[in-house]
Chains A and B, each alone.
Chain A
Amino acid sequence: MRFLNPWGWLALLAWVPVILLYLLKRQHEDRTVSSILLWREAQKDLQATRPWQRLRARLLLILQILAVALLSLSLARPVLSGGGGGVHYIAVMDTSARMQATDVSPSRIGRARMDLQDLIRDMRRKDTMTIVQAGIQPFVLVGPTGEKGRLREYAGGIQATNGRSDLERAVQLARTLLQEPKKEAGEIHLFSDKIPEDDRSLVSHVYSGNGQNSAVTHVSCEVRGGEMTVLSRVANYGDKRDLTLELKADGMRNNVREVSIPKQEEVSITWTGVPEDTHTVEVSLSEKDDLQLDNRGWAVRKEEHPVRALMAAGRNVFLERALSLRSDMEVIKADPDDMPESGDYLLYLFDGALPHAIPESGNLMLFCPPSSKELGISAEGETVPSGITVRQQTIYPDLVEYLEPQGYQIAKARKYKVPKGLDVLLEDQDGTPVLMAGEQNGRRIAIFSFSLSRSNLPMKPDFPILIQNLLDWMIPSNMDLPETIFVGETLQLSPFPNTTGITVLSPSEKKYHLDAEPDPVFYDTYDPGVYKVTQKTDRQTEQERFVVSVPTEEVSDLREETRAAVPSSENGIRKKGTTAARGVSFHREIWTVSGWVLLVLLLTEWWVYHREI
């Protein structure tokens, strides 16, 4: 037998007053009678039968002491356990942003931590526990282990994240852990504010108090007519509220609005007159509610920086037109034999020739280039490609998206060996590469096996598409940052070809330095707010911003009816399911039995007192 609430034994202290009541002399009320003769005789009788009287007095005392003991036992919540080995508990702790809600005291996550600590405390010697943290990515926090100190330490450190949680995967992970071939019994305890549907194999500890919450669900901005317009949306997930909204532009208060939002509705608020050179806008709610996290929203202005390209490809109207489709593109024309010495170009385009000195940096788009030892290009004769198709296994399918190469006509092309680091995108019916692309030493290269002047490709509708695909890949539109991602999502950065270093500054002023290796990924997006990304090239520094926002659709609605239906207790904490041990072990709370015995005992005590048997 073990006890889920050993503090219940403190009720044994009630023995002290019970015994004191027997020891202490009672206060007597004076009453005059004609004679105390008979009363004194009656008292003598009482004392004359002392053995029986004392026994009876003790009987009452014993009954009361027993009643206190049973009360303590009931409060201690005894659990009968059977079976041989220990129990393997798997505690799945939901750490979604919703668990930050304070509609349960001190907070949903705080209360869940306490309950988890209780569960750890009640573990028996042979029991073990694994704690699974169910955040955006569920993972095993600790265990399996029977070291209570270690478990307590980890359990005490669990915090709610600012994002969503994947409970289903977390429970799946817990089940997998439980299915490991062990003899011990197992229980999965889920500490969350909701219960996965149709899952009765869990012991669910549910924390929900039907909290009142409002959230800034969307913020975006646009520069038009010399000023910035900000669009925001605010949702009210509780009763009707009057809210004060504040707009900050680059951290300075710009405007304040009073809005009244009906129950469970969402309203749009448009803000005008914001300076056009504003980089960041923030919309926030002044009133407090049960979830503060989603009371702010941000938007950043899309920054545009010109991209410089050097084209040494003769006069080609089609190519020039295709390049000009990129608004940020600044194209400089030159002769390959007369290359400008200076100039930091992100892209070089050569047709039929290569300069004597290959530029050290910058991406290359080459049309029918000659062999180049430096670039690993080896031309082996000529061919007339026909039956051009997209290679199925290409690793760059995005570059040939929307193309229909069957109608391409090429009068003459060179036959190339595929240079190191490049992959074939288009090939003819003999498998001869027609278009190759890839990366060499941090620079991106695309090689057409033919000159544009020897093909009908520039006249095809596919041509501008192909060129844009290549440009998007070779020269990302600025850093190609998304304006907004949700908390916990990873962000793949696209560094410039000549980037020497990337730094990311979080809203909490924490600075991250990333290598400019291909496709660096930024992971630490757990704080909502505006992040600054800075890329340094040899000659300039580029800075862009992106917003990490709270997934309000998933975390802001704290209402009960949006959760699985489980009867709620007064304090907003519920427990569903029973200890569902696997194998031969069993655990059964027996406080109800002791409670009934206590009731019978109290009735007996009452009867004894009144009947004085």
Chain B
Amino acid sequence: MKSFDPDFLKKLERFTLYSRRPVLGTAGGNRRSRAKGSAIEFSDFREYTLGDDYRSIDWNAYARFERLFVKLYMEEQEANITVFVDASSSMDSGEPNKGTLARELAAVFAGIALAGYDRVGIAAIGDSVRKELPSFSGKAGFPRALGFLEGIGFRGRTDLKKALKAYGPLRGRGISILLSDLFSEGGEDGFREAMQYLKFQGQDVIVIPVLSPQELEPAFEGALRLIDAETGESVEVEMTPQVLRLYQKELRNFLEVRQSICESMEISWVPVQSGVSLDRLVFETFPQAGIIR
């Protein structure tokens, strides 16, 4: 796993995780909240009623409309960030390794969240929750998160629906980040249900499919018996150009279906390839995708 040096961490502090909608937390923080208050970020207007703070009257609006309006501000609160790392056998593949990248990305998100005074929880999931780091806050907890991530071993199968449901109720509204290759039991429907469950839990979801270059552009030849790393099942395939083309088509279809599910649920969809460097992902891909700012 990449060593997170102070410079890198300092760079991370400049970022904040962007939520499509306001979060609902319990403690004050850097996160905007539906609880309107006097924080800096402007939210809305409403007509002045008796008892309102006259300092919040917008005189410019009065000049234009000849009615009194008061400015409403978003109150900044801490957010609950939950990072789900797929810890199934399928993640332990690829060159560079997908699991390694997933752990590094989880650490990045944890680092950003902790720097923004958010609460972070991390879960290693497979066909259930394998390992869990209960949510905590404070920059000082970052090494704890790193230690947890380094201790994740990749084994067993993936069942996103079962695993996410097994995680239990999430603490209020927050952001859930899923780092997985999405090769999961239940297929497309299982994925949809898993996402629906997170959305039902009031989560702003970010799905980051992690695939290796070998999965995206397999360079197989000849007659192969392909063995599934998770299930041990096999399939015999004559690696003709046509079969490779069909695989590419299936892969595109696989990703497009899941992307469209995400889009229909306003879930952020940011696919990454394990061959791309962490710096590039963090400082180019994610900001461009709008999941961090």
Chain A contacts to B: CB under 8 angstroms: 26-43, 45-46, 610-612
Contact (Cβ within 8 A) A43 B183: no
Q: Is the CB of B249 within 8 A of A35?
A: no
Report if A34-B241 is in contact (Cβ < 8 Å); known contacts: A42-B246, A45-B250, A46-B246.
Answer: no
Q: Which residues of B contact A33 (CB under 8 A)?
A: 93, 215, 226-229
**B91 touching A34, Cβ below 8 Å:** yes
> Which residues 187-230 of B have a CB within 8 angstroms of A?
187, 212, 215, 220, 222-230
B240 CB within 8 Å of chain A? yes
Contact-residue bracket for chain B: 35 or more
A345 to B187, CA, bound (A): 133
- Asked if residues A39 and B247 are in contact (CB atoms below 8 Å), the reply is yes
Tell me, rounded to whole Å, the shortest Cβ–Cβ distance linking B235 to chain A: 5
A34 touches B90 (CB 8 A): yes
User: Of A26, A35, A42, which one neighbours B181 at CB under 8 angstroms?
Assistant: A35
Beyond the given A28-B225, A36-B234, could you list 13 further A-B residue pairs with CB under 8 A, ordered by the A residue number? A31-B225, A32-B228, A33-B93, A35-B90, A35-B183, A35-B228, A35-B229, A36-B228, A37-B228, A41-B254, A42-B250, A43-B243, A45-B249
Interface contact B251-A38, CB-CB below 8 Å: yes
CB<8 Å pairs between A and B, sample of 28: A28-B223, A28-B225, A29-B223, A30-B225, A30-B234, A32-B93, A32-B227, A33-B215, A33-B226, A33-B227, A33-B228, A34-B91, A34-B212, A34-B229, A35-B229, A36-B228, A36-B231, A36-B233, A36-B234, A37-B254, A38-B247, A38-B250, A38-B251, A39-B247, A42-B250, A45-B246, A45-B249, A46-B243
Q: Which of A29, A35, A610 contacts B224 (CB 8 A)?
A: A29
Q: How many A-B residue pairs have CB under 8 A?
A: 91
Which A residues touch B93, using CB under 8 A?
32-34
CB distance from B203 to the nearest CB of A (A): 26
Known contacts A34-B212, A46-B246, A612-B240; is A39 also within 8 Å of B235 by CB?
yes
A-side contacts of B103, CB under 8 Å? none
Cross-chain contact B243 with A42 (CB below 8 angstroms): yes
Give chain B residues whose Cβ lies under 8 Å from the Cβ of A29. 222-225
Shortest distance between the CB of B93 and any CB in chain A (Å): 4
Which of A27, A36, A40, A610 contacts B223, CB < 8 Å?
A27
**Residue B237 interfacial (CB < 8 Å):** yes
Is B236 among interface residues, defined by CB-CB distance under 8 A? Answer: yes
User: Can you name the residue of chain A whose Cβ is closest to the Cβ of B225?
Assistant: A28
**Are A34 and B215 within 8 A (Cβ)?**
yes
- Expressed in whole angstroms, the Cα–Cα distance for A187 and B91 within the complex equals 81
Closest to B237 in A: A39
Chain B CB count within 10 A is highest, among A27, A35, A45, A611, for A35
Contact across chains for A31 and B224 when beta carbons are under 8 A apart:
yes
Instruction: Check: B238 CB closer than 8 A to any chain A CB.
Output: yes
Complex alpha-carbon distance, A39 and B224, angstroms: 11
Contact of B275 with A by CB under 8 A = no
